[in-house]
Amino acid sequence: MADLLEEQRESWGTRGGFILAAVGSAVGLGNLWGFPYKLYSYGGGAFLIPYILGLAVVGFPLLILEFSLGHYTQRAAPDAFKHGHKKFEMVGWWGIVLGFVIITYYPVILAYCFSFLWYSIQGIIGNGDLPWAGEGLEGVDKAKSFFFDNYLGYTEGTSLGAIRWNIVLPLLIAWVCMYFCIFKGVNLVGKIVWLTVPLPWLMLLILTIRGLTLEGSMQGLAYYLDPTWSELAKPETWRYAFGQVFFSLSLAFGVMITYSSFLHRKSDINNNALIITISDFATSFIAGLAVFATLGAMAFVTQQEGNAVGVENVAQTGPSLAFVAFPYALAQLPYSAWFSLVFFFTLITLGIDSAFSITESVLASIVDKTGWPRAIVLPVISLIGIGFGFIYITEGGLNWLGIVDGFVNGTRGIMFLGLMEAIVLGWLWRLSILRRHANSRSDWNLGRWWDFAIRLVIPIILGTLFFWQLFEDINNEEGFLRSPDGKWNAPNCVGVGILIAAPLISFIFSFIKSKHNDNTTAATTDDLPVKGRFIGLVSFLVAVVTSVFFIISMKSENSSINLAGFSALAIGGIAATVLSMYVLEKYDSGNCRTSWFARWAGIFGIMEISAFFARFLYEKSAAVTNAEAETVRSHELTGVSYAILVVVFLIIIGGLGWCFYRAIAAASKDEAEQHPDEVGDEPKELKW
């Protein structure tokens, strides 16, 4: 272990470099179109509840988990997981493979941005007109047709069609930019992000101020913020909110593990994670203000001209928000070409550091594992990425981009992997090592709540969402993979194919011989005495018996047997979880090993609890979706919207203020007191 900690690994240079790089990865295209669009579509201000909850309860604790794992092991994701146990390595690769899927399409969106940047420049050089500019509802059609017909040559359906040669050059430009940002290693990245993070913030601020000072902006904000509470009863709202948390914080793709593996040995973990979480949220929220204020102003202009275009006419999907609605809205306003230039340049600077963060994590994982030179691995990854990118620059490419994105970033993809991460590190590793490690160098200490979040709360939430999705897929009347009349559903088959291929490829990768011979930790191997076997065995049996009873009871026609089985699932789950938690709490941080029975009983128990909740919610949500009510949007900001604005700004300003205060307070303390560097110490806060 000592060798590992003292190894000279390349580093970010400064704490700021790391924070900005991680913020750069987190803050991306997802913030400017993903978040505002999802918020608008799933309940307006009400969406903030699942989103903030997701950030606080799942996103932030997982970010700390990833930072501490990367920092502790000083390895990119696969080797970092392998450090726990050889068998865990696959979990690391899994995220890398899914990340790789993202870098096949994310640069394609950057390519669109490069093209639209070029059109804006042409507008500036020419007579100031943008090629999609038009008025009223006809103008909307013109903007739509410019993006979908002229630019994408878009065709509906699942066939790919011809390659759009006009997008090839922009795609190559996107990849060349990414290449040059990372080819020299993270030290250079740490410098580039001083430009690619503050610059889009500045431009977002310009767009927000401009939007808010235009007449009619408030009606746009009403669309954005006025809550539709009934949306909270829909499963999609929760799934999209949690999915957006994962995507936005770049969680479970191995990026944050890799980035923190390059972090200086004495650097903070906990406070950095909080700063990054809040900054990411702030960017999303403010991006939404910019987008909807501008759309509101657009609606106002068109109303004045007697050819009204409502916000709902243009804000339909993520891509059309960025490449139809916003361009159209800007075209209605003075200096449109200039502001369009600012907008697309903002998108590029937002997206580029997210895109190269994934490439870097794939690259570092391969380099760490094989020892092959970066100078060879990076061009190979880039060429493969460009090759796959051609799929999405075809006439049907945007459809496939949406399909693949939906699977990878949804409950079945990345959130399932987040569940695996929490289970592996929470139940099969010694979580206390990571907490101790994080606390030993952070501005403030994590309490026991973090262990509970990783072991219980996160797996139960993600497990529930996963099973809920599973029940829906299984009971899908149209057939999820194949319809009752025998027709295959191509998008779902491809999506599921990717999701099944990811663990298989990861499994194969985990057999590649590593350049490093890291010892695994005492969590799984040593010759320490095993404790808690009896209670572990009992709880394991409880979990197995109740699960079997549940499955058998489901086959019965008798509703009271069904109910008994369902109740057994909950009772068995709770009993197994509580007992194994007790064993883990008692033995896991001492000089002994915790029985595997207890560990697996805990995992089993959590799955039972999740399945119970999921079943319950599935039945409830089926009722809600059937009786779906039409949402009526108001055109004026209500008192509740103002209250939401105030609360959100208080969270952002108060949260960041607190983080900076803690950082300054810690920096002014005695160094020695602040960083007891030994990892093998007893945890600071063992007591309840």
Q: Could you tell me the smallest distance in angstroms from the CB atom of residue 462 to ligand PFF?
A: 17
Q: Could you tell me the smallest distance in angstroms from the CB atom of residue 442 to ligand PFF?
A: 23
Percent of the chain as helix, strand, coil, to the nearest 5: 75, 0, 25
Which of these segments, 28-36, 113-121, 368-376, 545-553, binds ligand PFF (CB under 6 A)?
Answer: 28-36
Distance CA 423, CA 411 (A): 16
Q: Does 253 bind ligand PFF (CB under 6 A)?
A: yes
Q: Does 28 bind ligand PFF (CB under 6 A)?
A: yes
Q: Does 347 bind ligand PFF (CB under 6 A)?
A: no
Q: Does 26 bind ligand PFF (CB under 6 A)?
A: yes
Distance CA 640, CA 69 (A): 41
Q: Does 349 bind ligand PFF (CB under 6 A)?
A: no
Residue pair 269/64 in contact (Cβ under 8 Å)? The answer is: yes
Which of these segments, 219-227, 242-250, 469-477, 566-574, binds ligand PFF (CB under 6 A)?
Answer: 242-250
The DSSP bridge partners found for residue 530 are: 593
Q: Could you tell me the smallest distance in angstroms from the CB atom of residue 249 to ligand PFF?
A: 7
Distance CA 245, CA 214 (A): 31
Q: To which H or E segment does residue 593 belong?
A: strand 593-594
Q: Could you tell me the smallest distance in angstroms from the CB atom of residue 358 to ligand PFF?
A: 4
Q: Does 288 bind ligand PFF (CB under 6 A)?
A: no
What beta strand segments (E) does 268-405 contain? none
Which of these segments, 246-254, 444-452, 558-566, 616-624, binds ligand PFF (CB under 6 A)?
Answer: 246-254
Q: Could you tell me the smallest distance in angstroms from the CB atom of residue 248 to ligand PFF?
A: 4
Closer of 280 and 588 to ligand PFF (Cβ): 280
Q: Does 30 bind ligand PFF (CB under 6 A)?
A: yes
Residue (of 196, 613, 171, 606) closest to 401 by Cα position: 171
How many CB atoms within 10 Å of residue 619? Answer: 10
Q: Fill in the amino acid letter for 527.
A: D
What the block records as the tokens of 125 is 């050089």
Which residue among 102, 420, 422, 569 contacts ligand PFF (CB under 6 A)? 102
Give the contact letters, 505-544, x = binds to ligand PFF (CB under 6 A), - = no. Answer: ----------------------------------------
Q: Could you tell me the smallest distance in angstroms from the CB atom of residue 441 to ligand PFF?
A: 24
Closer of 29 and 433 to ligand PFF (Cβ): 29
Which residue among 20, 24, 25, 405 contacts ligand PFF (CB under 6 A)? 25
Q: Could you tell me the smallest distance in angstroms from the CB atom of residue 250 to ligand PFF?
A: 4
Q: Does 99 bind ligand PFF (CB under 6 A)?
A: yes
Q: Does 247 bind ligand PFF (CB under 6 A)?
A: yes
Distance CA 248, CA 276 (A): 11
Q: Does 292 bind ligand PFF (CB under 6 A)?
A: no
Identify the three-state secondary structure at position 417: helix
Q: Does 211 bind ligand PFF (CB under 6 A)?
A: no
Identify the three-state secondary structure at position 678: coil
Residue (of 592, 601, 400) closest to 491 by Cα position: 400
Q: Fill in the amino acid letter for 492.
A: N
Distances in Å between the Cα of 283 and the Cα atoms of 33, 253, 603 are: 11, 21, 36
Give the contact letters, 356-385, x = binds to ligand PFF (CB under 6 A), - = no. Answer: -xx---------------------------
Distance CA 285, CA 655 (A): 15
The DSSP bridge partners found for residue 163 are: 394
Which residue among 73, 260, 354, 553 contacts ligand PFF (CB under 6 A)? 354
Find the helix packing angle between 136-145 and 270-304, rounded to 10°.
130
Which residue among 11, 31, 336, 621 contacts ligand PFF (CB under 6 A)? 31
Which of these segments, 22-30, 341-349, 370-378, 470-478, binds ligand PFF (CB under 6 A)?
Answer: 22-30
Q: Does 401 bind ligand PFF (CB under 6 A)?
A: no
Q: To which H or E segment does residue 594 belong?
A: strand 593-594
Q: Could you tell me the smallest distance in angstroms from the CB atom of residue 271 to ligand PFF?
A: 20
Distances in Å between the Cα of 22 and the Cα atoms of 25, 174, 402 are: 5, 20, 25
Q: Could you tell me the smallest distance in angstroms from the CB atom of residue 467 to ligand PFF?
A: 24
Which residue among 19, 20, 21, 29 contacts ligand PFF (CB under 6 A)? 29
Distance CA 419, CA 601 (A): 16
Q: Could you tell me the smallest distance in angstroms from the CB atom of residue 252 to ligand PFF?
A: 8
Q: Does 59 bind ligand PFF (CB under 6 A)?
A: no
Which of these segments, 20-28, 448-456, 628-636, 676-684, binds ligand PFF (CB under 6 A)?
Answer: 20-28
Q: Does 261 bind ligand PFF (CB under 6 A)?
A: no
Closer of 99 and 296 to ligand PFF (Cβ): 99
Q: Could you tell me the smallest distance in angstroms from the CB atom of residue 562 to ligand PFF?
A: 41
Beta-carbon contacts of 113 under 8 Å, excluding residues fewer than 6 positions away, are 344, 347, 348, 351
The half-sphere exposure of 55 on its side-chain side, counting CA atoms within 13 A, is 23
Which residue among 115, 228, 250, 506 contacts ligand PFF (CB under 6 A)? 250
Distance CA 249, CA 63 (A): 8
Residue (of 238, 237, 243, 235) closest to 624 by Cα position: 235
Distance CA 105, CA 136 (A): 33
Q: Does 248 bind ligand PFF (CB under 6 A)?
A: yes
Distance CA 586, CA 427 (A): 13
The half-sphere exposure of 418 on its side-chain side, counting CA atoms within 13 A, is 40
**Interface ranges with ligand PFF (CB under 6 A):** 25-26, 28-31, 99, 102, 247-248, 250, 253, 255, 354, 357-358
